[in-house]
Amino acid sequence: MGYNLKRGSVLGVAACALLLAGAALPQVPDPSPNQPPKKVLPGTVDPDRVNPPAKEPVLPGTPAPQVRLPGGERPDISVTRHEVLVPTTVTDRKGHTINGLRVNDFQLYDNDKLQEIDRDIAFLPMSIVVCIQRSANVEAVLPKIRRIGSTLQATLIGEGGEAAVVSFDHRVEVVQDFTTDGDLINKAVQKLKPGGQNSRMIDAVELAWRMLKEKKDRRKVILLLSETLDRSSEAKVREVSSQLELSNVEVYTLNISRLVTSLTESPQLPRRDPLPPESRPHPPGTSIDPTTTAQLDGSPGDSADLVPIAEEMYRGVKAIFIRNPARVFTKLTGGREYSFVTQSDLENAIGEIGREIRSQYILSYSPNNKLEGGYHTIRVDVLHENYKVRTRPGYWMAGVPQ
């Protein structure tokens, strides 16, 4: 009886071991109907799984199998190509624009290295953001600006173009997003009203850049109608100008004269004197009368009215030579500055900007010196000694491995 129990236990252990070995074995594929089934002994490994059969050779001309990600998606391979657009204006000695030149007539240098010009783009539709200052101190100029909506559409934006309108004082607002409808642009400009005292001009240009940077295969232009003095922006001139250069955005400015705004703006109410007149000491040897009291109170008179005007004029002259963001934007992006006083000056300046943009040669190239990080200077020469060339001076670029 004990022998049978011992023998049964050994058989049970062996059966369990076989079951565990079978569970650990890899599954053998079903044999094809043309081949006999392959026998795999328990505890052994299929030799075809250790050394799989060699793949059949691919004949020439046979398309390669497509690689697919889990879920059936195909992998996307993107190649980044840094393209620089160089709007170039060519004039003769008298300032008349020259048309009809070809790519072979230009030589383009990036950091003094000759570049291969990919193309001369004859026509690109325009995307333009019009930034208009509407601070309280430019209230006298706003009626002239409200009448330029139709002029913008007719002489500047052109066929296939789109425009957006941004206004700014101490706030920066998108009055009209990009549209091809000239009536919407005109209405957006007409409803501008004077706002606060400050002007965030640099912040407005930065917002315009953000609206333009994703535009593809279009001319990207910012038209800035404002004073040259920024009062309260958070953005910095250097950072914004670098982004404009990297995104191939041109800036044209229509400068509002600081002299006009200083002489026409409404004077601010004087600060109330916290001390009553009787609390001030009376100068010896003088009589107390209303005139003396007014002088002691510091009430504004004829001479006092000239102080804020002189201060603002000094600020305007100082801004021209020391910190003029408008000039920085135009010089670094290849644009131009214009000024106006009358309505005809304003409309003529817009017409000149439109004619210049339409007569420019848009040279395109991919730099062959991408390893050189920092500021890249651009120089364009025309193979004609009597022609003058004006273009953007350069751009900022991080080093890119080639």
Sketch the domain layout of the chain as residue ranges.
Answer: 123-265+304-373
Cα of 330 vs its chain's centroid, Å: 14
Q: Which stretches of 180-289 are assigned E, i.e. beta strand?
A: 219-226, 249-256
Q: Nearest Cα to 391, choosing from 89, 144, 127, 102?
A: 89
> Percentage helix, strand, coil, to 5, in the chain?
35, 20, 45
For residue 149, give the 3-state DSSP assignment: helix
Q: What DSSP character marks residue 40?
A: -
Reading the chain (402 residues) residue by residue, the pLDDT tens digits are: 444 444 445 445 454 444 444 444 445 455 555 555 555 555 555 555 545 555 555 444 444 455 455 555 555 544 455 788 898 999 988 888 888 888 889 999 999 999 999 876 667 888 999 999 999 888 889 999 999 888 887 777 877 889 999 999 999 999 999 999 989 999 999 999 998 888 899 999 999 999 999 898 888 999 999 988 888 899 988 889 889 988 889 999 999 876 655 544 555 555 666 666 656 666 666 666 665 555 555 444 444 444 444 444 444 444 433 468 888 899 889 899 998 888 898 999 998 998 888 888 989 899 998 888 888 899 999 988 789 999 988 887 766 655
Hey, which residues does 395 pair with through a beta bridge? 376
3-state secondary structure of 20: helix
Instruction: Return the pLDDT at 78.
Output: 46
pLDDT of the residue at 107: 93
d(Cα 217, Cα 118) in Å, to the nearest integer? 14
| pLDDT the model gives residue 232 | 86
**Phi/psi at 254 (nearest 5 deg)?**
-115, 100
CATH superfamily, with its number, for domain 123-265+304-373: von Willebrand factor, type A domain (3.40.50.410)
The amino acid occupying position 201 is M
Euclidean distance between CA atoms 254 and 245, whole angstroms:
20
Burial readout 244-253 (b: 16 or more C-beta within 10 A, e: otherwise): bbbbbbbbbb
The whole-angstrom separation of Cα 288 and Cα 102 is 84
Cα separation of 244 and 246, whole Å? 6
Predicted local distance difference test score (pLDDT) of residue 140: 87
Name 376's bridge partners: 395
